[in-house]
Amino acid sequence: MEENTSAGIREHLSNRQTWLRLLYMILFGIVFQIASLVAGLVAVVQILFKLFSGEAQDPLRELGGRLAAYLREIVEFLTFHSDARPYPWGPSPTASRTSGGEAPAAKAAGRRRIRAQGKAGGEAAAGEVKPE
């Protein structure tokens, strides 16, 4: 039994694909840090635009969405959630947006907030969502 385990471990340790993935993981870990820094800079620039002009910039909003999608792809690869290698070995990430310019998760959070407000004020029936 112990020999089978030792042989299995030796086989796993000599798997070229695993070592190659480790190299990609190191590379994408570095890319993740750089992309996170860029996302932080985009956030700072956006808040400055909002403070001084009253509006966030759509091109920066789009860049932020694309960076968020890219960071998600990297995390999914690093955590073995996905075997697909992120860009540039895979397709370029796109920001998943809805018609209102909000990410789907943000819209869902808004709906939950509306439901909670309705229940507190007695305005909406249980499970009913007010239109946005």
Three-class DSSP category at 85: coil
Q: Does the pLDDT of residue 46 top 80, yes or no?
A: yes
What pLDDT does 119 receive?
Answer: 52
Kindly state the average pLDDT of the residues 64-75.
96
Dihedral of alpha carbons 40, 41, 42, 44, sign: positive
Q: Does the pLDDT of residue 23 top 60, yes or no?
A: yes
Give the span between the Cα atoms of 56 and 74, in whole angstroms: 27
Kindly state the average pLDDT of the residues 72-87.
94
**Cβ atoms 21, 15 nearer than 8 A:** no
pTM of the prediction?
A: 0.66
**Cβ atoms 80, 17 nearer than 8 A:** no
Domain ranges of the chain: 2-94, 102-132
Kindly state the average pLDDT of the residues 87-97.
78
Kindly state the average pLDDT of the residues 81-104.
72
Alpha-carbon distance values, 85 to 16, 18, 63, 110, 117 (Å): 16, 14, 20, 33, 42
Give the span between the Cα atoms of 86 and 70, in whole angstroms: 7
What pLDDT does 42 receive?
Answer: 97
> How many CA atoms does the CB half-sphere of 22 hold within 13 Å?
7
